[in-house]
Amino acid sequence: MPAVLGVIGGILLALGVPWGAAALLAGVALALLDARPGLAALALLGGGAGWLSAHTVLARPDPLTPWLGAQVTLKGEWDGQFLTLSAPRARLAVSPKPAQGPGVLEVAGRLVAPQGRDVPGGFDQAAWLRSQGGLLVPTPGAVLVGARVRAHQPEGGLRGWFRRGLSAGLTERQAALMQAIELGDRSDISREEFAEGYAVRDAFARAGLAHLMALSGQNVALITGVLVWLLIRLGAAPAWRYGLPAALLLPYLLLVQPSPSITRAVIMGAAVLIALALGRGRPDPLGLIALAALACLLPFPLWLLDVGFQLSFLAVLALTQTLRVAGRLPARWPHALRLAISATLLAELGTLPVVAGTFGQLPLVGLPANLVAGVIMAALVPLGFVAGLLGPLAAPLNVVSGLLASALLAVAETFGRAPVLSWGAIGAAGVVAYATALGAGWLWLLGRVRARTALGTLLACLLLTALPGWLRPAREVVFLDVGQGDSTLIRLPGLTMLVDAGGSVGSDYDVGGRTVVPALRALGVRQLDVLVATHADTDHIEGVPAVLRALPVGELWVGHRKRGDPVLDAALAEAQARGVPVREVRRGDRVQAAGAALTVLWPTGQDWHDEDNENSVALTLESRGWRAAFLGDLAQAGEAMAGPGNLDLLKAAHHGSRHSTGAALLTQATPADTVISVGRNTYGHPHPDVLARLAQAGSKVWRTDQVGTVRWPVP
């Protein structure tokens, strides 16, 4: 344990995180408190090893860097997540992800640098890719965008044989689930939906079952458990009974490919089996966990930043207290049930801050869902493994596997419809509150404090973390970085309005569900009073249905209720399905809250233009003498007719198109600051003429493609 604390401290210091020194010193202090100076030296040695390992990975150049920005055609091994090249030796991500399964892939596209986290609650692609490298594995440092598959050769060898066994005789959805459960390959299951807008992966996450599709200790325990049971039935000696399963774990790891959770499970499982084979009994749990962390972090130091690594180790640390918690449950309950309930609750509590902070929501039905799913998994995992070994001959066995897979999908679909608890970003105060409540619960388990004291501490921590938001509610405008699209959040005490929800033209990426909704959750938005669909353009309102599905919405505002437009029709249909009133707004419509007023400038509703952009809903926000305008995609003529008046802040229309943000508007408005919502595009946005006009008007420009999400305080 001192050694692994030292390694963690060294990695953090290499990453430039000063409090890594605290982890290193904690390892030294732990050894000295035990009066073992040799272990203190080991902690310091671990710190040096962790720093050196992380520094080596971080300093290694990416051979694809010289080709960033270039159109290229590449050929390599595709594992469903990364494309691995042999010359130069490199790995890279591919977007959009090819529908073809693992194998040899030839693909064309443009190489770009990965993006960071440009939106609250968003995916930090650059950090995630950086965490996937190791001492012996190249770090993915580039993304091939606009990818077009030229040729594909299906995967061969043992993995190809195993994959065919998992799919033999099954439906596409069943086969996709089996590949996720047995190989950790979630590429196919990510494309499956139970219904429009209700993805299978989302259902598993909402039900608290997402961990079933990430290979972990459950897979190792079930597979080795069945093998040990068979060897016992055959009368094998202890050396064979435990030694053979231990020896097979390394080939198993190579088959499924290393990831943080399965690597940890294999290391811990092998250590336990070897100890039993040698007659040494079970190893100390904390020492075993520390050993696994050392074995993971020394070759893969940046796994420390990987959410999968964090969830896996936090869960297994929490599970060490299963017997204590089970002992607190009523003795009349069956022992197996008490253990299952305790393990599920502990795993959820142990990973709570990571799950809440990363995914913005907490499942409320995780306990019953896991109890039911656990029974199915106990049979499905071993059967699926045998089917994989049988390859194409597994069709008869897969009759049973298919039924079990369908049952598991039904569990996820049913429990996934239950409500979830939305959660915002977790700051330092939230971590301290969580640790305090956790400490109180630990003392209760040890019998040091009464239950009422532990419960009171928990309630006090919840109250204290909620107080800042109650005492000082947000007053801001948030221009979300949704790429080449628009989405603006207006937050006032008593009024939360979202103007548009982004979209992605010519792509199946769900900007609303994958970018806007997580951002709203990270900002602590649990409901919207008003959702505005400014006009029937994909890049503005394609994400509206996803927002309507994810959050309670008071009203949906539209301007021109255009008939026959598929994007607008989808938004209106979802509003009807959710019982959300639709309001056709006109010039002069207004809402007020907390000393601020939002006023509709456009449309008048008298005449409609053939161009959807000219029918955009335009708004002004006024608060204590400060004014801002949001002009949708209006062109210069529409801007002039809307007449926003003098402004402090302008949301430039149409992503900086040369046909908008005209000289007449700027002469009238004289905005001190202008925000342009724009992403990678081939339209030439923002146009140099617009930037020149803004510079001449003395307006400072804030572009979401350069600075990410822009948060602007409202007086």
pLDDT value of residue 640: 87
pLDDT, one tens digit per residue, over 15-37 is: 999 999 999 999 999 999 988 88
The mean pLDDT value for 619-624 works out to: 95
Q: Say if residue 469's pLDDT is above 80.
A: no
Q: Cis (ω within 30 of 0) for the bond into 581?
A: no
Find all residues with CB under 8 Å of 638, minimum gap 6, and list them: 602, 613, 614, 616, 618, 631
Q: How far is CA 319 from CA 1, 289, 339, 342, 344, in A?
A: 17, 11, 10, 8, 9
**Strands, E assignment, 293-452:** 361-363, 420-422
Higher per-residue confidence, 123 vs 529 = 529
- Name the percent of the chain lying above pLDDT 70: 100
pLDDT, one tens digit per residue, over 647-681 is: 999 999 999 999 999 999 999 999 999 999 999 88
Report whether 538 contacts 568 (CB < 8 A).
no
Confidence of residue 421 (pLDDT cuts 50, 70, 90): confident
Report whether 510 contacts 544 (CB < 8 A).
no
DSSP symbols for 186-211: -TTGGG-EEETTEEHHHHHHHTT-GG
φ and ψ of 333, to 5 deg: -75, 150
The mean pLDDT value for 55-70 works out to: 94
Q: Say if residue 390's pLDDT is above 80.
A: yes
Confidence of residue 465 (pLDDT cuts 50, 70, 90): confident
φ and ψ of 598, to 5 deg: -110, 125
pLDDT, one tens digit per residue, over 233-275 is: 999 999 999 999 999 999 999 999 899 999 999 999 999 999 9
The mean pLDDT value for 191-195 works out to: 90
Question: Which range has the worst mean pLDDT, 154-158, 298-302, 494-498, 572-576?
Answer: 154-158
When the pLDDT of each residue in the chain is averaged and rounded to a whole number, the result is 93
The mean pLDDT value for 199-218 works out to: 91
pLDDT value of residue 544: 96
Closest CA relative to residue 128, chosen from 146, 119, 141, 118: 141
- Name the percent of the chain lying above pLDDT 90: 80
pLDDT value of residue 62: 92
Report whether 377 contacts 222 (CB < 8 A).
yes
pLDDT value of residue 308: 92
The mean pLDDT value for 427-453 works out to: 90
Q: Say if residue 472's pLDDT is above 90.
A: no
pLDDT value of residue 478: 97
The mean pLDDT value for 393-412 works out to: 96
Confidence of residue 134 (pLDDT cuts 50, 70, 90): very high
Q: Say if residue 426's pLDDT is above 90.
A: no
Q: Say if residue 187's pLDDT is above 90.
A: no
Is the CA virtual torsion 380, 401, 81, 117 positive or negative? negative
